[in-house]
Every structure is written in C-alpha cells, then in structure tokens.
Structure 1
Amino acid sequence: MAKTGDAVSLTALASAHGGVLLTAQAMARGWPQRRLNRHLVSDGWTRIRTGAWLEPGRVLDEMVLLHANQVGRPHLVVSHTAAAVLHDVETRTQRVEFTAPRGVSTTVHGGVLHKMRLGPEETTMVGGLRTTTVVRTMADLLRAGPRDDALVAVESAVSRRPSRYGGGKRRREPVTTLREIAAALESRPTMRGTATAQEWLALADPKAGSPAETIARLRMHDAGLHPESQVLLTTPTGRRAYPDFFFRGQGLVVEIEGYRWHGSRAQHQRDTARFNDLMSCGEVRRILRFTASDVYRRPGAMIRDIRGALAQLSGFSAVP
C-alpha cells in the first residue's frame, strides 16, 4: 500500500481509469480528505464532478467523461454513439451516452442516460470501459434514430473503412454484419422502435464507402431514385472500375467525392485515372460528380441535377 501523501499513487490510480481519480479511492489508500483536496487543487487537478478529478495535463474530453461517469458505477454501460466510437465506427454525432437498468437511480454528468435492459452477452470491455457490444450498439442506434445517423453508423460497421485509430492511415475490417444486426433486432421484437429499425436496416448497403455516400443514396432513395452501387464495370483495356452509383438504363454514373481522398498529388492522380477509366466503359454515357458539401448542404440541387441528367439521357422531360 502506498504511503499517505504519496502523489505517485494518485497518478497510478488515475491512469487505470483514463486519468480520472475518485477521492474515495485515494482516501481508501490512506489520504485524509482535507489534505487530499488541498493537494488536488494545488497540483492542478481538474474537478469533473463530485468526488471525481482529472489528472493534470489531460484534456476534459468525451473519453474522459466516459471514464469519469463509469468509474465506481458498474451499472453504467457506455452505449449508442459513444459505444460506436469505441468500436471504431463512424458516426455523424458523438455524445457521452450510457445505458442503465430501469429502476436504478443514477445520473450521467455531461451526457445522456438511457434506461433499458441489457443481457450479460450484450456488453463487453473496450479500452477499459464497459460498453454494449457492437451488434447491440447498432441495434440501439437503429431503434433510437434518426434514420440517416443510424445508417451511417451501420454501414460503417459492416464495411471496410479507414480506422480512426492510427490517424486513418490503415483500414479495419468490418466489425459486424447486417445479418447479425438483424438477428439482434429480432431477438427483442417488442422493444420500442424495433419495427421501424428493421425497416431502416433494409435500406443499408455494406458497399457504401463513406458517410457522404450513405447520405447521398438515402437522398436519392427518398426522391424515388434507386441506382446500383459499387457495381463492377470493365474498361476496354480490361481494367476494373466501381462507380459509387450507376443508373444502368441511362448509362449515368454518380460519384461522391470525399474530402479525405484528395490529400496528396498521388491521391488526386488516382482519382483522375479512375474518372478516365469510368468514362471509357462502354456502358457509361455521362458522369456527375458531387462533393460532400453538395450532399449535406445542397441535396435538393443534387437531386435536380441527377433527374435532369436522367431525363436527357432517356429522352424524356425531367420530373419536377
């Protein structure tokens, strides 16, 4: 046991919980409360909530709040968007979110608390935090909505994506499948939101390569447009090309340009070569390219451009 007043022991206690120290832990190690409080203040520890302090030099961010809420409270389970981040899944929104059993009186500092039942098989440990499994997390996001945010996360989970760990320089494999998520929804058929969640899951496409592609496809779906996605086309020289979206009957390709693919000359060169490959495919008559900003901020204009191109290629007037 560390001696009373041993500052190193406080750092050691905090490091086990993402830099968060509970005063109860320190007092159990022999620190008198008054002396402990004076030491924490004088050494620059940050008070997070009653009885919880953040180690000097650390930033009070969402990850710290997850540790601060969960340490000493085993009934709290990280869930929803917070759990998705822990599982290396892309989300449009990120919040400090927990799930606790109904009937348990508790609060969450700086975040959101959901009350529902979790089976022991639906929780796991990630990065020192108790969290819902990736399958239960996706099912919860689908039940809670909104649709677009839930499907961005689901399609990230079931596809091969750049990993947020390591600065996005490597890709991680899918962390679950649509079938596993469907089974999780079916296992709780009477849970609120399950019927709607199952309808939304049917719209998911594991071939989506980015959140912008997901949202673009949903905007087209809502407008009654249903192109093929990531279909294989072959150039006259035998090279393979996979357009983001392809309206085969009209020969129209729709490409969604993600910002991260234009960070270097080499990436720009590959993008140019890909465009030329697509244009050389016999099935392709026209290519429309949209940025992520077009998708998120000007979806109406994007849909009008697609409708106009389809009308021109089909020889009919554009649908208003």
Structure 2
Amino acid sequence: MYELAILARGGVLLTVWAAAAGWPPGRLAGRLRRDGWQRICRGAWAAPGREVDWLLKAAALQFLRPEVVCSHGTAARLHRIEALGAAGPAGVLEFTAPRASRSERAEGIRIHGTTFLTSRDRSTRRGLRTTTPARTVGDLIRTCGRREEAVTVADSALARRVVDGVRREALVRYEDLAAELSAPRRGAARARTWLRLTEPASGSPAETVARLRMGDTGLSPESQPTLLTATGRPLRPDFLFRAAGLAVEIEGHAFHGTRRAHERDVARFNALQSCPEIRRVLRFTAREVFQHPERMVATIRVALSL
C-alpha cells in the first residue's frame, strides 16, 4: 500500500484514492486520525498541520466533484472582487454545476444548477476552477436584491484596486459586462439598469455607495478627477464639485492606524487643499456613508450653499 501522504494532492486526500491504492476502508479512518489528518468533509481529508481554510475546502469539493466550478461569492473572493452583501452568507462556499438539474445546499456549501455555463464562462484562479470575472459579476448582480450591492460589485471589477493588500488591474470592461447581461435570463433586465450606474473611476465600495446616495438627491460630482497640487504633483480627490471648489473624501474600510499611514493621510489632506480648484475639503468615514448617508448628503448640501 502507498503511504497516505504520497496519495494527497495539494494537501487533500480523498478516501477513494486511498481505497484505490489498497487501503481497506475499515482501517483508513482510524489511521488518518492517528496520523493527524483532518476531516474536511465526507470523503476528503486535509494533511496534518495544514490549515483547513476556504481555499482548501473548495479544492476538496472540486476533487470530489470535478464538474463544479467556483462561482458567485466564492468566485468573487478568488478574483478579489469587492462586495457588500452580494457575495452570499459568510462561510458559505458557492459553486455552479453545469449539468445539475437543480440547485443543492449542504452545510457550508451551495451548488447552483444551470444550463448556462460554457467553456467561455470558466477560468482558473489560485488553482481552482472558477467562473470568469464577467460571469462572476453577472451572476452576482442578477441575483442580488439591492442596487448598492450590484453597483459595488461591478465598480470593483471595472476598476484598478488594492484588495486584501494586493494591487490588481481592472478585471473586465464595461462592454464585457453588457454582453454578459444581454442574454434574457432572470434578473438581467434589472441588472442592465444597475450597470448604467457604474463608475470605473470609483476607488472603494464606500465611494460607490456615497456616489449613489448623492445621486439620489440630485448631486452629481466628478469622480476621481486629476488635479495638480501647488508643487505640480497629480492628485485625485474622491469627488469634486468643481463650480463650488468642494472636494469630498471618503475613508475606506481599512483602518490606517500606523504612524506612517497617518502621516501620509495628513500630507494628502494638505496637498489637496493646495490645488487651485479646491476651496474646501469634506471627509466622511465609510461608517457614515453606510449607516448615515442622509447626514453626509446634508453636510455636503450645506457646504455647497455657502
């Protein structure tokens, strides 16, 4: 019989592989436990000492079921597409099975059944089979229930971003998303309406929500315009009401608690006020944007009236 470690792939061992190598099923579970293997799910084990994170769980399921691809919220995490609530419940891995006749649910897993999955909708990311960025965004905004969720996902995929500390390029073009949503599928008509509200210049989910909330009250600032500071350095405020000389800055989710980050923040604030177009700067936290947007809008309107 082969040693169990030799049979593992990427830190995952399936019991069917061990059985095919000659391990009696009755002895296998006890041996795995004695050797420190960790049960991932029925039929799959993680190597001793290996962290059983969501990536390893997704890999195990794909070994067990080669037909499934990561999709929806799980695919968004793989592509580093930011989301609000559109990425699904926390801790739930989502997949799509191209030949499934119906959707399936199990503990910590949801498998979407569809007949609308071709080779053009699939890609590979971090060693896992997953839907492409365009298909991922399409799946999310067709099925999410709120405009803010939909536009946040699309904005993130359309923009260059730093997500989870990783800088990435834009993942899709507007034309890619328009093509993805052109098919007559459930939720597509509403999704096409939301797609028209996207802004590739948006820098964070908080900026997206702030822009939408301002737009609801008739405010239409420029997003991320390029200005020149007093020293000639280019700088891009989050929003600019050019006629009023008012810049609006939205602080993202990340907490910048280091001294160096604080110094950069202060320097940016001072540099922004040195731009000839700027007469006043307002700053709002992500918490204010998400929880009290009416206060943000009221403050901006007061500033515009001065």
- TM-score above 0.5: yes
Partner residue, 2:110: 112
Question: Aligned-pair RMSD on alpha carbons?
Answer: 2.3
- Pairwise mapping of residues 170-181 of structure 1 onto structure 2 (< 5 A)? 170-181=166-177
Partner residue, 1:7: 4
Q: CA deviation at 1:9?
A: 2.1
Partner residue, 1:20: 12
Partner residue, 1:75: 67
| Runs of at least 5 residues in structure 1 that lack an aligned partner in the other structure | 314-320
CA shift in 2, pair 1:115/1:221, >3 Å = farther
Question: In the alignment, is residue 42 of structure 1 matched against residue 34 of structure 2?
Answer: yes
Q: Is the CA contact 1:234–1:281 (under 8 Å) kept in the aligned structure 2?
A: yes
Q: CA deviation at 1:70?
A: 1.9
1:16-74 deviations in Å (ceiling 9; x for gaps): xxx33221111011111011111112223232332222222233332232123222212
TM-score, scaled to structure 1: 0.84
The 2-side partners of 1:156 and 1:61 are apart by 24
The 2-side partners of 1:296 and 1:230 are apart by 20
CA shift in 2, pair 1:241/1:143, >3 Å = same
Partner residue, 1:157: 157
TM-score, scaled to structure 2: 0.88
Question: In the alignment, is residue 255 of structure 1 matched against residue 249 of structure 2?
Answer: yes
How many residue pairs get aligned? The number is 298
The 2-side partners of 1:138 and 1:293 are apart by 25
Q: Which moved more, 1:36-45 or 1:145-154?
A: 145-154
Amino acid at match of 1:35: R
| Runs of at least 5 residues in structure 2 that lack an aligned partner in the other structure | none
The 2-side partners of 1:128 and 1:270 are apart by 37
Amino acid at match of 1:307: R
The 1-side partners of 2:223 and 2:206 are apart by 13
The 2-side partners of 1:25 and 1:108 are apart by 23
- Secondary structure of 2:281's counterpart equals strand
The 2-side partners of 1:14 and 1:235 are apart by 54
The 2-side partners of 1:278 and 1:9 are apart by 59
1:138-179 deviations in Å (ceiling 9; x for gaps): 111111123322322222222221253xxx1x5222122122
- Secondary structure of 1:71's counterpart equals helix
The 1-side partners of 2:103 and 2:192 are apart by 31
How many percent of aligned residue pairs carry the same amino acid? 48
- Secondary structure of 1:249's counterpart equals helix
CA shift in 2, pair 1:255/1:72, >3 Å = same
Q: CA deviation at 1:283?
A: 2.9
CA shift in 2, pair 1:26/1:280, >3 Å = same
